[in-house]
Amino acid sequence: MYAPIRKLTGYFSGFEQWPGLNDYRRLLSMHPSIRTLNGQALSIVEQAGKPQHFSEHYAPRIYYSGEIQTRSANWHDFFQLLSWFIFSRTKAVINSIHIPLARERIERGENIGRRTPMENTLSLFDEGGVVILSSDESLLDLIRHFEWKCLFWARRDELAQKLRCITFGHAMYEKGLQPYIGMTANAILLHADQSVIDLPLDTQLHWLDQRLAHIFAAGSHYTSPKDLSPFPILGMPGWMADNASESFYDNHQYFRPGRGEKIQAGINFI
């Protein structure tokens, strides 16, 4: 689950207490190419008080100044920062899409917390998203149709060869510190050539960052929360000790049947 950020966490391996914001800044200084779509270099600032202007809200402040408000000793913000290193292009695109949508709501006099379906979709993925890459469309179909036992148990051996689950959302990393039955991700399903599945992780993550950025920038595939596929992430082989037993997948409160609605079809990148 933590494979995408494992290399970055090594920077903090010698710490005996929580790193401070200056430690985050030093790490960020090693990667000056991380920028918003507005061209601003990402920087770390302390959590601010109640915003007085649109540009002072969390997402606009990132877009206009590159400043990401960060709390000390906070896992959520820690993983938020690390996700920018791994998916810098996608995070920048997601951030930029929020800006005109939020501004339009404010100009209409609406509550800033009352987001559009597009904003909700972006937030759900940004917080709790994973990407499922597979070279076998039938495995993706099992996810779309909620055929969990067939996916995770009957075709278990195929998953290691033909499917990758890559954690995107920083809240999902936070939840993984204390995993619980019911822990569910919001998944984007991508069909890719086997050569992509077999790429070294760093190369694969770079490939994925470019593809996700393109998908979100196009603005036509994931526009509603219902377009994301619910995915019981602890069913992934090896991601929880208990799932080595077939009976683990008989828990229908976790591995639920379908919701009776059409899920966004996977996008081909062959």
As to burial, measured by CB atoms within 10 angstroms (0-12 exposed, 13-18 middle, 19+ buried), residue 85 is: buried
Q: Which two tokens stand for residue 86?
A: 């791994």
Give the model's pLDDT for residue 147. 97
Print pLDDT tens along the chain (270 aa): 999 999 998 899 889 999 999 999 999 999 888 999 999 999 999 988 888 788 888 899 999 999 999 999 999 999 999 999 999 999 999 999 999 988 887 777 666 667 889 999 999 999 999 999 999 999 999 999 999 999 999 999 999 999 999 999 999 999 999 999 999 999 999 999 999 999 999 999 999 999 999 999 998 889 999 999 999 999 999 999 899 999 999 999 999 997 654 444 455 544
Q: Give the integer Cα–Cα distance in Å for 8 and 248.
A: 32
Task: Please state whether beta strands 185-192 and 229-231 pair in parallel, antiparallel, or not at all (unpaired).
Answer: antiparallel
Region of 66 on the Ramachandran plot (φ > 0 left; ψ -120 to 50 alpha; else beta): left
DSSP characters over 173-189: HHHTTS--TT--EEEEE
Cβ neighbours, 10 Å, residue 79: 22
The 10 Å CB-count burial string (b at 16+, else e) for 220-253 is: eebeeeebbbbbbbbbbeeebeebeeeebbeeee
Q: Which two tokens stand for residue 5?
A: 């950020």
